[in-house]
Amino acid sequence: MFFGAKTDFTVVDTWRSWIIHLWAEGFFEFFATTVVVLAFYQLGLTRRNVALRVIYLDAILYFLGGLMGTGHHWYLSGQTNVNMALSALFAALEVAPLTLLTLDPRDFIRTTRADRDSDGQQMVIPHQWTFYFLMAVGFWNFIGAGIFGFLINLPIVSYYEVGTLLTPNHGHAAMMGVFGTLAIVLTVFVLRQTSSDAHWPGIEKYIRCTFWGTNVGLAMMVVMSLLPGGLLRVWDVLQNGYWHARCLDYIGSERSHLIEWLRMLGDVVFIVFGAVPLVIATVKGYCNLGASSKI
């Protein structure tokens, strides 16, 4: 609607950045943070005024700063140095509220871990795995969206790295780490709410496996394949030029193939120990819900 086959590249690149990044930075980030804040508040992990302040701060950063932050990919469109510098700054600041909010449940779990009831038994936290997954959201928000996002947001870095594996490195860590884990948070919360104390231990072991499988598998993808592959390609760009890092000789080299195959290890861990146990836990929760309704 805004451009066609003969439209100038500057116009095309501008609209492409607005469509993609306003969806991600203007809506998706704010939605994720709001859901996490509401979950924290409903579970008694944070105070109402803290939750409201985080939501207001997010609204300011995303809807005002996010508009300017969209410009961190406009370096090919002839933008000024001041605009690109401010865009990179605001894009990096957007991850701060959710990361800081994650400190609340971490402190809650640390202070309640040694609590005892009147009989001297250790206190049982019903939604402890929901808490752990929420903290994982904050962790990957800081690593994937914050560090890896800032790594490619800087205009001078983005100029050399665009199209390399550093971009999907940021995308995997931020998309799955934040939004994918947030979906698991809601799933685990519903499973615990709809499962009785008698049925929950049979489901919890799969949830525990899902937590470690998804996080370790995603970390293996990043550390063993995406991050080193991106850094090596950027190094090749600096040494031989961007054209060489995109040519078939480099992409088809043994080193590139090895890095690609190393990612399969993380994929296997993620699927076998992360996705599959979550499916099993969901099915068991559904079956238990049906069995409870018949009693």
**Structural domains in the chain, sorted by start:** 1-105 (no CATH), 124-295 (1.20.210.10)
The pLDDT confidence band at residue 57, using thresholds 50, 70 and 90, is: confident
* Average pLDDT taken over every residue of the chain: 79
Torsion of CA 212, 277, 103, 56, to 10 degrees: 140
Confidence of residue 116 (pLDDT cuts 50, 70, 90): very low
In 3D space, the residue among 165, 214, 226, 166 whose CA is nearest the CA of residue 188 turns out to be 214
Report pLDDT for 272.
97
Tokens standing for residue 250: 């480099």
3-state SS class at 122: strand
Distance CA(218)–CA(213), nearest Å, equals 8
pLDDT band at 98 (very low <50, low <70, confident <90, very high): low
Most confident of 64-68, 79-83, 112-116, 290-294: 79-83
Please, what is the end-to-end C-alpha distance for the chain in angstroms? 57
Neighbours of 213 (CB within 10 A): 22
Residues 174 and 197: their CA atoms lie apart, in Å, by 34
Contact status, residue 63 vs residue 97, Cβ threshold 8 Å: no
Q: Using the predicted structure, report yes or no on whether residue 258 has a pLDDT greater than 70.
A: yes
pTM of the model: 0.78
- Would you place residue 117 in the very low, low, confident or very high pLDDT band (cuts 50, 70, 90)? very low
Give 175-215 pLDDT, tens digit per residue: 898 889 989 988 998 898 888 888 899 999 999 999 999 99
DSSP letter at 70 equals G
User: What residues pair up with 116 in beta bridges, in sequence order?
Assistant: 122
Task: Return all residues near 146 (Cβ < 8 A) that are at least 6 apart.
Answer: 92, 95, 99
The answer to whether 209 and 273 have CB atoms below 8 angstroms apart is yes
CB-based contacts of 222, cutoff 8 Å, min separation 6: 169, 172, 173, 266
Q: pLDDT value at position 106?
A: 58
